[in-house]
Amino acid sequence: MELTEDQLKVAEIELQRQLPQSLKIYGFLVLRNRVKSDPYIVLVDRWPQFSVIICKPKYKQKTDLFKDTMVFANDEAILTETLRNSSVIDWSRYLCLGITLPHMELVKAVAAERNVPNNQLSLCHMMILEDVSKLPAIDCSGICLSSLAESHLDLVNQTWKFGSNEGAARMIRNMVTNFPSCCVLDSEGKPVSWILTYVYCAVGMLYTLPEHRGKGYAKVLISSMAKNFSGQGYPVFCFIEEENRTSYQLFKGMGFSEDPSYRETWYGFNDF
Shared-domain flag, residues 104 and 196: no
Q: Which domain holds residue 70?
A: 5-124+263-269
Tally of domains in the chain = 2
Shared-domain flag, residues 68 and 163: no
Answer left, alpha or beta for residue 231, where phi above 0 means left and psi between -120 and 50 means alpha. Answer: alpha
Shared-domain flag, residues 119 and 136: no
What residue type is assigned to position 67 of the chain?
K
CA atoms of 109 and 129, how far apart (whole Å): 34
pLDDT at res. 89: 95
Interacting residues of 62 by C-beta distance below 8 A, sequence separation 6+:
167
Shared-domain flag, residues 167 and 76: no
Shared-domain flag, residues 89 and 174: no
**Digits of tens for pLDDT over the chain (272 positions)?**
999 999 999 999 999 999 999 999 999 999 999 998 889 999 999 999 999 999 999 988 777 777 899 999 999 999 999 999 999 999 999 999 999 999 999 999 999 999 999 999 999 999 999 999 989 999 888 999 999 999 999 999 999 988 878 888 889 999 999 999 999 999 999 999 999 999 999 999 999 999 999 999 999 999 999 999 999 999 999 999 999 999 999 999 999 999 888 999 999 999 87
Shared-domain flag, residues 103 and 149: no
| DSSP code of residue 143 | -
DSSP-derived pairing of the beta strands 68-73 and 95-100: parallel
Question: How many DSSP H helices and E strands does the chain contain?
Answer: 8, 12
State pTM to two decimals: 0.95
Domain of residue 178, CATH code: 3.40.630.30
Shared-domain flag, residues 138 and 243: yes
Shared-domain flag, residues 206 and 98: no
Shared-domain flag, residues 138 and 89: no
CA atoms of 235 and 30, how far apart (whole Å): 8
Please compute, for residue 17, the number of CA atoms within 13 A of its CA located in the half-sphere on the CB side.
Answer: 7
Shared-domain flag, residues 120 and 139: no
Give the chain's length: 272
Please compute, for residue 1, the number of CA atoms within 13 A of its CA located in the half-sphere on the CB side.
Answer: 11
Burial group, residue 16, by CB count within 10 angstroms (0-12, 13-18, 19+): middle
Shared-domain flag, residues 19 and 136: no
φ, ψ of residue 105 in degrees (nearest 5) = -65, -35
CA atoms of 68 and 202, how far apart (whole Å): 13
Shared-domain flag, residues 90 and 11: yes
Q: How many CB atoms lie within 10 A of CB 25?
A: 26
DSSP codes of every residue in 252-266: HHTT-EE-TT--EEE
Q: How many CB atoms lie within 10 A of CB 35?
A: 15
